[in-house]
Amino acid sequence: MLPEVEKLLTLQERDQRIRAFELELNAIPDERRFKERQIADSATRLEAAKTRMKGIEVERNKLQVEAQAKRDSIAKYKTQQFQTRKNEEFAALGHEIATAEKAIVAIEDRELELMEEAEGLRPVVAEAERAHTEERAKLEAQIAELGRKAETIQARVAELIASRPALAEGLDEDLLDQYTRLFKSKNGSALVELDHDVCTGCHMKVTTQTSVAVKGDKALVHCPNCGRILHLPA
Ligand SMILES: [Zn+2]
């Protein structure tokens, strides 16, 4: 194998490790946002359950005030009945009393419904509270873990990058540029094996001429189709 190909292969192996770490690193912010969204969603579910609970409380208080007003009216009508001497007025007040009593029954029915709803909702709120606390703790731990993972990867990448110049030493500047461009444009594979006359980068069969040139091992050979540098299996 040509010495520069051998050198480039070592360099490529290093660069592939750096690239893999960087891809992992780039995925972390999304993973983090995803977990933060999950925390927010679980908080929203809890809030929805709590809001309904508060709504029930507010409506019950309002109903109690209404019922009390009706009772006060009934008491007033009864006093008026006691004071009047007119049969017609007595009957009219009696009618008012009956209407108010009916209204109280309706209010009490509604109150009962609300109490039952609150009863059913209480375990739901408790469960949402428990789930949210648990979920948040779990996700926050995972987010912290992601932060540590990012730091570890960054340190590892810095090490790998620092040791890179030693691997590139002695390589021709133009060749290095060519390699760098290929590595970038071909998603981390600048040099690929020629396997049974097939370029393992683009999977195209090469011409006999190209195949002979690779096997001759005298000069750098590029795949005529994808431009990658071809080498024989190690
Ligand atoms: Zn190719």
pLDDT, residue 1, reads: 87
Among 124, 147, 168, where does a domain finish? 168
Residue 171 Cα to ligand 1 midpoint, Å, equals 23
N-terminal to C-terminal alpha carbon distance within the chain = 8
CA-nearest of 191, 203, 228 to 6 is 191
Are 127 and 192 contained in the same domain? no
How much is the pTM?
Answer: 0.73
pLDDT, residue 7, reads: 95
Residue 24 Cα to ligand 1 midpoint, Å, equals 27
**Dist CA 130 CA 136 (whole Å):** 10
**Dist CA 211 CA 231 (whole Å):** 10
Are 63 and 98 contained in the same domain? yes
Q: Are 80 and 96 in contact (CB under 8 A)?
A: no
Residue 5 Cα to ligand 1 midpoint, Å, equals 16
Residue 100 Cα to ligand 1 midpoint, Å, equals 91
Residue type, 39: I
Above 80 in pLDDT, residue 230?
yes
Tokens 């730091």, residue?
151
Are 39 and 134 contained in the same domain? yes
Domain span at residue 102 reads 13-168
Are 160 and 215 contained in the same domain? no
**Dist CA 223 CA 69 (whole Å):** 92
**Dist CA 183 CA 36 (whole Å):** 35
Residue 173 Cα to ligand 1 midpoint, Å, equals 23
Residues 6+ apart with CB under 8 A from 167: 7, 10, 11, 14
Each residue's pLDDT tens digit, 186-228 = 999 999 999 999 999 999 999 999 999 999 999 999 999 999 9
Residue 228 Cα to ligand 1 midpoint, Å, equals 6
Above 90 in pLDDT, residue 136?
yes
